[in-house]
Structure 1
């Protein structure tokens, strides 16, 4: 399976400015979506842990991606606990994303040198995540926090790397 170092994974996540987030219970459908994204230039893909047996689907998709999409960093999203993070890392996840910040997930990911992008809704959560080694934080839910939150956070903490998700649309307000 394709494995990339932490810096390479974060670079892939930032290259296009888009990380598709997707789940489907049918591995064949998920494979087709990953391949279409890859053919379109995407190099980081987040498979969400949302359905029954999602880890089994992910295992198939990550093996497919290693062969058919060799430069794709396959990650997993919707991770809230360290045991689930460890399971997906064992299955080949190159990065872990969560809807919330869990320092124990950060510990598991750091031990394996796998980037962890936790969901953060306050400046304090972003700061706490950074202190545990999170290089990229997810502003979630993006449609609630909005662009003012991002601008306000970056003013005193310009080194912060953010990924805004959840209800974000390509409107003039979100682009400026």
Structure 2
């Protein structure tokens, strides 16, 4: 098991963190396989539905049997109780849409990387005090790259990853990296409703390669 700093470095190296949830276990497995095929080695599965825990366990089984170098994190963790459930299920890292000291404590106890969601300088400061180094800026489409430019110097050493509305375009992804982010989180702009509904997983493969290329060009 990689250390939390190694996982953090891997997210930054990958440059993009795909995130998704689907009620269907089969669809969740198919999406994960296709992301992996395109070169993705870290994924955030989100705790956004009743099947999240069961599906996450199925993805861990997939990871262990087929995708040994995949690291599987869990997102949308809002309470210590949720954190414990998914740590017990084998989560490699924890991501939250907010700053919860209880979640930070569970991550620290288990020596896991915790990436909290922040929208204000106060939240970034509070997350930093709780040990977070990589911060999820959420929702990214509301904050915009200008927010990063404005606050980055206030928080030396803090790494930022905008999530929620990062666009599938060279222009948008370049704007984020030019502002100083370390990676971008991408959900429905990458793993679109159309791809899921029509099971167009080859489209997902092509889109993922494109997104990785956008990040490479942005750097």
Range of TM-score over shorter length: over 0.9
| Aligned pair partner of 1:108 in 106, 122, 133 | 106
Contact 2:133 2:157 in 1 (8 A): no
Task: Report if the CA contact (8 A) 2:166-2:172 is conserved.
Answer: no
Which runs of structure 2 are paired with 1:46-61 in the superposition (5 Å)? 46-61=44-59
Deviations 1:29-50 (A, max 9, x none): 1111111111211111000111
Cα shift readout 1:83-105 (whole Å, capped 9, x = no counterpart): 00110011010111111111110
Gap regions ≥5 residues in structure 2: 176-219
Mapping of residues 9-158 of structure 1, within 5 Å:
9-158=7-156
Structure-1-length-normalised TM-score: 0.94
Following superposition, which runs of at least 4 residues in structure 1 exceed 6 angstroms of deviation?
none
- For the residues of structure 1 that align with 2:93 and 2:148, how far apart are their CA atoms? 23
Q: Return 5+ residue gaps in structure 1 as ranges.
A: none
TM-score normalised by length of structure 2: 0.76
Output the CA distance in 1 between the equivalents of 2:85 and 2:45.
Answer: 14
Distance 2:2 2:36 in 1: 16
Distance 2:170 2:153 in 1: 22
* CA apart distance, 1:4: 2.4
Q: Across the two proteins, how many residue pairs are aligned to each other?
A: 174
